[in-house]
Amino acid sequence: MAASKKDLRTCDKGHQYYKTSDCPICPICERERKPDNGFLALLTAPARRALENNGITSLQKLSEYSEKEILQFHGMGRTSIPKLRTALQQEGLSFKE
């Protein structure tokens, strides 16, 4: 299997990084904007962006969705659901049935 060609890119903030895909996300910017605490800090960058892109930035807002609806968001994977379920339960909330 041949190694993927890595392209050197520069983001709008001037960070230089290599990517093998056509994904436009700068990994340095993503690390810098990752929350230090809260339920979004528990998630991978794609899962966090999936929620943010759908206006879900609080557990209250998350509780308005079912697990099935959340899994339909691009970037959200099954491994995120248990983390989200636990975060909801700690606040006395749950996914919509």
* CATH (domain of 49): 1.10.150.20
Checking if the pLDDT of 81 tops 80, the result is yes
58 inside domain: yes
- Confidence class of residue 28 from pLDDT cuts 50, 70 and 90? confident
| pTM of the entire predicted model | 0.76
Q: Are residues 28 and 58 in the same domain?
A: no
HSE, side-chain direction, 13 A CA sphere, residue 85:
10
Give pLDDT, residue 23. 82
Q: Are residues 60 and 26 in the same domain?
A: no
63 inside domain: yes
57 inside domain: yes
- Confidence class of residue 52 from pLDDT cuts 50, 70 and 90? very high
- Confidence class of residue 72 from pLDDT cuts 50, 70 and 90? very high
Give pLDDT, residue 1. 56
What is the phi-psi region of residue 15: left when phi exceeds 0, alpha when psi lies from -120 to 50, beta otherwise? beta
